[in-house]
């Protein structure tokens, strides 16, 4: 009898490490963002013993998630997705509904971070940037960005309608709060394209996020639209690039849980950990993307806050990227932009 008890005890002990170390496959977009996630989320979470995080990089292919869910063979537990994909995947039934009682108090989060199928990871922004070594009077508004008499030189802009039409309307005097209301009308779209046409001879297009800092450092452009994290990365390497935050367009990436993962409970525990104030603050120290949990902000130094899209000073005149607007009208506007760009 003693021997049986002893064997039972051994069996129980043998299962403990397995229970403690669930493997959780967390999928991200790679690069500096993945490195910041590793330091702020994955490595500290591994040390808690709750799960072993295995980070996997991808390019945002929603089709892979769909194939797994439909086949009933889900091996991805937590996936980082962009804002258009969280709503689309939710509508298609690809993601588990989020039990917010297990994540945290919704009131602590940036409102846009709260979704029925997703939890915000971080806030990033498309802003204007300049080389502070070469431009002594920095641009303050999108009207300045357009004013080639006041500030001579080329402007870098992303090759596409998205963001540029919004910036054009702000340059033409439309208040940030009214941008999408105006752009949704034919007259508003015409006005945005007319304003872009004014600047067209001075535009140098970019297509990859790494290009604007390179253009600025080389002196190819005097100002450029850019993803704010790219400027932070360049400055960490010793560059002296400045950001004008007025009228920046912010957006979020989200954590989602593919429907049918066998590790649903472990996945939500990890998301809760990664969106708690301490983890969010540590993430923001490693890359200049804003915390989704507002309680992280008091934990950050003035130096860190100065580079974040969610700090009060930088967020006061920002515009949230309107996913629904671009889902409804984006295809038509991008076609019009492509035709306009070749004229």
In this prediction, residues 22-28 reach a mean pLDDT of 96
Choice among 18-27, 151-160, 169-178, 219-228 with the minimum mean pLDDT: 18-27
Average pLDDT score, the chain: 92
pLDDT at 18: 43
Residues 6 or more apart from 250 whose CB is under 8 A from it?
Answer: 123, 124, 125, 126, 290, 309, 310, 315, 318, 319, 320, 321
DSSP 279-291: HHHHHHHHSS-B-
pLDDT in tens, 242-258: 999 999 999 999 999 99
pLDDT at 137: 87
Instruction: Write out the E strands in the chain.
Output: 22-28, 51-57, 78-82, 119-131, 155-158, 203-206, 223-227, 241-256, 319-320
Confidence check: pLDDT of 6 > 90: no
Per-residue b or e along 258-269, where b marks 16 or more CB atoms closer than 10 Å to that residue's CB: bbebebbebbbb
pLDDT at 251: 95
In this prediction, residues 267-271 reach a mean pLDDT of 98
pLDDT in tens, 121-165: 999 999 999 999 999 889 999 999 999 999 999 999 999 999 999
Structural domains of the chain ordered from first start: 19-123+252-312 (3.40.190.10), 125-250+317-342 (3.40.190.10)
pLDDT at 329: 92
d(CA 207, CA 212): 9
pLDDT at 30: 87
pLDDT at 10: 46
Residue 210 pLDDT class (50, 70, 90 cuts):
confident
pLDDT at 327: 86
Angle between helices 323-342 and 83-91 (to 10 degrees): 120
**Tally of CB atoms within 10 A around 196:** 23
In this prediction, residues 297-308 reach a mean pLDDT of 95
- Stronger pLDDT, 88 or 281, i.e. the higher one: 281
pLDDT at 188: 98
In this prediction, residues 99-124 reach a mean pLDDT of 97
């Amino acid at each position: 009898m003693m021997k049986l008890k002893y064997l039972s005890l051994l069996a129980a002990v043998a299962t403990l490490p397995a229970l403690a170390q669930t493997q959780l496959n967390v999928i991200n977009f790679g690069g500096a963002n993945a490195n910041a996630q590793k330091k702020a989320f994955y490595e500290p979470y591994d040390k808690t013993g709750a799960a072993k995080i295995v980070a996997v990089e991808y390019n945002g292919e929603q089709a892979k998630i769909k194939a797994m869910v439909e086949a009933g063979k889900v091996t991805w537990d937590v996936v980082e997705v962009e804002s258009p994909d969280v709503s689309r995947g939710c509508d298609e039934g690809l993601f588990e509904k989020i039990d917010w009682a297990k994540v945290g108090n919704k009131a602590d989060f940036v409102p846009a971070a709260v979704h029925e199928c997703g939890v915000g990871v971080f806030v990033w922004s498309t802003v204007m940037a300049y080389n502070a070594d070469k431009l002594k009077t920095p641009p303050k508004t999108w009207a300045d960005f357009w004013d080639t008499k006041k500030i001579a030189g080329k402007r870098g802009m992303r090759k596409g309608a998205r963001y540029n039409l919004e910036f054009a309307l702000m340059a033409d005097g439309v208040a940030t709060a009214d941008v999408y209301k105006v752009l949704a009308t034919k007259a508003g779209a015409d006005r945005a394209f007319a304003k872009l046409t004014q600047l067209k001879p001075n535009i140098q297009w970019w297509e990859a996020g790494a290009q604007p800092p390179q253009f600025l450092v080389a002196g190819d452009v005097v100002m450029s639209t850019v993803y704010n994290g790219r400027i932070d990365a360049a400055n960490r390497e010793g560059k002296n690039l400045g950001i004008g935050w007025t009228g920046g367009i912010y957006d979020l990436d989200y954590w989602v849980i593919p429907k049918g993962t066998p590790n649903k409970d472990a996945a939500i525990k990890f998301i809760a950990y990664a969106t708690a104030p301490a983890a969010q603050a540590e993430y923001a120290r490693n890359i200049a993307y804003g915390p989704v949990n507002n309680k992280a902000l008091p934990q950050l130094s003035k130096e860190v806050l100065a580079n974040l899209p969610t700090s009060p000073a930088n967020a006061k005149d920002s515009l949230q990227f309107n996913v629904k607007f671009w889902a409804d009208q984006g295809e038509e506007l991008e076609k019009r932009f492509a035709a306009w760009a070749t004229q």
